[in-house]
Amino acid sequence: MTSLHTTSVRRRRLGVVTAAAGLIATLFTAGPAAATPDPGDAATTRSGVSVSEQAEARAAIESGEIPGVDEIVHSSNIKHLANVPKDALKGLNTDLAFQGKYAYAGNYDGFRIFDISNPKKPRTVSQVLCPGSQNDISVSGNLLFLSTDSSRSDNSCASTTQPATEKSSWEGMKVFDISDKRHPKYVAAVETACGSHTHTIIPERKNVYVYVSSYSPNETFPDCQPPHDGISVIKVPRSAPEKSRIVNFPVLFPDGGNPGAPTNPGVSKTTGCHDITVLPSKDLAAGACMGDGLLFSIKDPENPKIIDRVQDNVNFAFWHSATFNQKADKVVFTDELGGGGAATCNDEIGPDRGADGIYDITGKGDHRKLVFRSYFKIDRPQADTEVCVAHNGSIIPVKGRDLMVQAWYQGGVSVWDFTNSSKPKEIAYFERGPVTLDEVTTAGPWSAYYYNGYIYSNDIEKGFDVLKLDDRRTDPAKKVRLKELNVQTQPDYFDR
């Protein structure tokens, strides 16, 4: 483990933007196989940066408007405690989950387990080679869940890429036994229609329900046929995970969902969901589903019931993820404009696209409605070579306030306050400068989450970061302690 040097904090000019069962996991012993990215959250390096754009970026660096290549800058209320670079797993770093003194980090080539008992010196406990795009990750008790959203030759961790047009190809959910953190065991696999881009768990005493989000069906894909207007619900018995099975495929869009272009130009056609966040204490879920945002009841987890549905056909291109506030009277939806492969934090795009949308929840019971209040987007200037867009984050548990930490790819980590739904504001940040000035490159934090007093971030290329936030507005959260955190399964922080 090495720590990157943190540069002195600059006075930066803000406001520039006008805007199958029983298998043993294959542990790393040799070079990892390459995983093939799928649409949405796909990592891409794109050429075509003009000479003038490169010159503008260099001028912005020289003037101090943006940090230099790979330079670290941050607000005065954030400290960079540690960075752990990639090691055995060379793929893209993705999502995070937490349990006790452990952090679990997804990677396109598998997953890594960190001991974070000393946040200043995270230590690698194990690395599991199990290639498959996304490798979205969750944990519950002795079980770890891993999403595979790239077509593979089989369901093993030794699989290779294979066209989705072949019937024998496999995508879906994998389940590991992590009772021995040093030697996780692969114990179950469940194939799901169109794979598993992300997943969300609903833990119960005897079972764990898994909501599988996937999308982009195609008539040439035998296991991913249109219409694909719902989610897969998997039931996993804790005592016998090898008996995991799909128990339902509820249709969430009986009318087919948002038609996208040409009816709604610039908006994704809804062919499934990208991500779902559940709030079990309130029997609620919020779905970010490509062209639609959903609020639904999970009182019966096998049969979710839609309460309300909203669209934003002016500024939202791709509904990517959702976060409830603690009182469950607000939802923050993110727009992944450009699919995680475009520079969107600039004057050309403006402040309302590629942003967060803040919605109040009004009414009661089945009559609740999602009511739009405002957009939030970081106003720290980014170079046109930097992929920057709203991505994964979590609330920071402070009574009486709505605070959130969020990843913005090369826009870095942002801490912001949406207590006033109509006037959100950033209160802290951490970011690195451009990876390069020669190409538009996907990099930066994929996820940034608050857990037991610290912010943990999984940077797509630079590795696992630990940040400490010291601010009177967020300090009360340091007293809140959790035994387990899967951000898409939001806890009730103050009623446990």
- Summarised one tens digit per residue, pLDDT across range 293-306 is 999 999 999 999 99
Cα separation, 366 vs 371, in Å, equals: 15
- CATH top class, domain 45-485: mainly beta
**In this structure, are residues 162 and 127 in contact, taking their beta carbons and an 8 Å threshold?**
no
What burial class does residue 50 get, using C-beta atoms within 10 Å of its C-beta: 0-12 exposed, 13-18 middle, 19+ buried?
exposed
> 307 exposed, middle or buried (CB, 10 Å; 0-12, 13-18, 19+)?
buried
Quick one: which H or E segment has residue 321? strand 319-324
| Lowest-confidence pick of 57-66, 417-426, 469-478 | 57-66
Place of tokens 């030759």: 153
pLDDT value of position 46: 52
Which residues fall within 8 angstroms of residue 228, CB to CB, at 6 or more apart?
193, 194, 214, 215, 216, 217, 271, 272
* Residue 50 neighbours by CB under 8 Å, 6+ apart: none
Global confidence as pTM: 0.92
Is the confidence at residue 251, as pLDDT, over 90?
Answer: yes
Judged against a pLDDT cut of 90, whether residue 376 lies above it is answered with yes
pLDDT band at 496; cut points 50, 70, 90: low
Predicted pLDDT of residue 369: 98
Rounded CA-CA distance 471/473 in Å is 5
Nearest-angstrom CA–CA distance, 34 and 46? 19
Q: Minimal CA–CA distance to 447: which of 107, 217, 188?
A: 107
Cis amide leading into 67 (omega within 30): no
Residue 54 confidence (pLDDT): 87
Residue ranges covered by each domain of the chain: 45-485
Q: Closest Cα partner for 428 from 73, 95, 94, 103?
A: 73
pLDDT at 45: 46
292-297: strand order across its sheet: 275-279, 284-289, 292-297, 305-310
> Are 426 and 403 in contact, with CB atoms under 8 Å apart?
no
Q: How do the residues of the chain divide into helix, strand and coil, expressed in percent and rounded to 5?
A: 5, 40, 55
Write down the pLDDT at residue 290.
98
Under the banding of pLDDT at 50, 70 and 90, the label for residue 441 is confident
How is residue 440 written in tokens? 């538009």
Where does the pLDDT of residue 402 fall: very low under 50, low under 70, confident under 90, or very high at 90 and above?
very high
Strand, coil or helix: 411: helix
Determine the Cα–Cα distance for residues 319 and 292; give it in Å rounded to an integer. 6
pLDDT at 36: 28
Joined tokens for residue 41:
């959250």
Over residues 139-190, the pLDDT tens digits come to: 999 999 999 999 999 999 999 999 999 999 999 999 999 999 999 999 999 9
Q: What pLDDT is stored for residue 49 in this prediction?
A: 77
For residues 224-236, average pLDDT: 98
Strand boundaries in 169-304, DSSP class E: 170-177, 185-191, 198-203, 207-213, 232-237, 245-248, 275-279, 284-289, 292-297
Query: Is the pLDDT confidence value at 359 over 90?
Result: yes
Q: How far apart are CA 63 and CA 76, in angstroms?
A: 20
CA nearest neighbour of 223 among 246, 192, 269: 192
* pLDDT score at 488: 98
Can you tell me the distance from the alpha carbon of 416 to that of 450, in angstroms, rounded to the nearest whole number? 13
